[in-house]
Amino acid sequence: MRMSRFLPMAAALMFIVLAAVNGHAQEPVKIGAIFSVTGAASFLGEPEKNTVLMLKEQINKSGGINGRPVEIIIEDSKSDESAAVLAAKKLIERDKVIAIIGPSTTGESMAVIPIATKAQVPLISAAAGAGITQPVKDRYWIFKTAQYDTSAVEAIYAHLKRQGITKVGIVSVTTGFGDAGRKALHDMAKQSGITIVSDERYGPKDADMTAQLTKIKASGAQAVINWSIGPGQVVVAKNWTALKMGIPLYQSHGWGSRKNIELAGKAAEGVIAPLSRLVVWNKLPDKHPQKALLRQYSQSYEARFKSEPGAFGGYAHDALMLVVEAAKKAGTDRKAVRDHIENQVKKWPGTSGVFTMSPNDHCGLDKTAFEMVVVKNGDWQILK
């Protein structure tokens, strides 16, 4: 073989060998992620994916997990339950991850739970449904970082009670999010001393909710509660203002995006919602345990992606950091990670709230994870 041909080949071979050696010396800690990056729930999956990619760089820059780099394998479930199941199997069997974060939606999470449970892999879901972590005896390997819908409802009902309001009209979107919220509103009503006098629905792409609101107004409700995410919330706020309903409008925790204030303009004034502190971090007192973390996450996300992380990005943040911290303190064994999250996470500040996990609670958040926030002069204002 002529020298001129041999040299480049030898060089190439050397690189391959080097790369192999390099890889062996610092074997990465593999964490799986299943997010709805595309499809109907892509508004959840996108900030979640961005968050995880950003955190991975930050973690690896500051020394990884006890010197080992973190590798995060992100699978796109396409907002589809069967795709989520396939992704989970792949992550567990082929990639041999120490834990899985996600999926993004309750439906996909419920589909993946049996797989993770059978394979004994910790799963930290980024979805809100109560069924993900309850009944807890069947959810040994399962955790979640999104607040319960019922906690948001409790926060709203508690605020209503302080205003002396007992009769409410509810309006909700006909999607999984709206269904879950509507159920929570009904379930919590009795024990909170609230009567639902009108219960209306609308489609996710509807252009006008005046008819529903008119009906609520006629029913003698003292407040309106709207449960949706996306453009529906803005349309409801606009219709509520146009109708001059004269009763307060409460939105779900999906309201927490500055974009909603921009889109609704003046119609957003006076709208009240239970929001994750991520949205109002700069209005928290400095001594609040979440403030430093929220500032760091929010600012670095906005600098990099030119958009707000929103509560959804925060769910992925908390899920990943729970796993990373468990792996740092308890090692990368799957059981050790699970045990650490269940027993050692006490008063742990995340983006969604201050978590306290226990064998009886695999979410670790309650209604104190929310602040009641009103829109005033085009900005959020925390209500006392």
Partner 1 sequence: MTVFLQFLFSGLTVGSVYALIGMGFNIIYNATSIINLAQGEFVVIGGLLMWFFLESCNVPFFAAIGLSILSAGLIGLIMERLTIRPLRTNDLLVMTMVTIAVSIVMRGLLMFKFGKEPYSYAAFTEGDPLVIGGAVIQLQTFWVLGITAACILGLYAFFNLTMVGKAMRACSFDPTAASLVGIPVSRMIMFSFILSAVVGAVGGAAITPISLMEYDKGPMLAVKGFCAAIMGGLGRGRGAIVGGLTIGILESMTAGYLHSGLKDAVALVILLAILFFRPAGMFGNTTMQRLKGH
Footprint of partner 1 (CB under 8 A): 42-43, 46, 171, 174, 200-203, 205-208, 210-212, 214-215, 218, 230-231, 234-235, 242-244, 259, 263, 265
- Residue 62: what are its φ and ψ, rounded to 5°? -100, 35
**Closest distance to partner 1 from the beta carbon of 231 (Å):** 4
- Cβ closer to partner 1: 293 or 311? 311
**Closest distance to partner 1 from the beta carbon of 217 (Å):** 9
**Closest distance to partner 1 from the beta carbon of 52 (Å):** 18
Rg (CA), the chain: 23
- Cβ closer to partner 1: 105 or 332? 105
- Residue 244: what are its φ and ψ, rounded to 5°? 45, 60
**Closest distance to partner 1 from the beta carbon of 304 (Å):** 16
List, in sequence order, every residue forming a beta bridge with 251; answer none if it has no partner: 226
* Residue 5 burial (CB count, 10 A): 9
- Cβ closer to partner 1: 88 or 170? 170
**Closest distance to partner 1 from the beta carbon of 130 (Å):** 23
Rounded-to-integer distance, Cα 72 and Cα 317, Å: 13
- For residues 225 and 169, the answer to whether their CB atoms sit within 8 Å is yes
- Cβ closer to partner 1: 141 or 315? 315
- Cβ closer to partner 1: 50 or 133? 50
Rounded-to-integer distance, Cα 163 and Cα 249, Å: 13
Q: Where are the beta strands (DSSP E) in 160-214?
A: 167-173, 195-202
- Cβ closer to partner 1: 263 or 336? 263
**Closest distance to partner 1 from the beta carbon of 199 (Å):** 9
- Cβ closer to partner 1: 43 or 140? 43
**Closest distance to partner 1 from the beta carbon of 175 (Å):** 12
**Closest distance to partner 1 from the beta carbon of 23 (Å):** 34
- Cβ closer to partner 1: 201 or 295? 201
Peptide bond before residue 285 is cis, with ω within 30 degrees of 0 = no
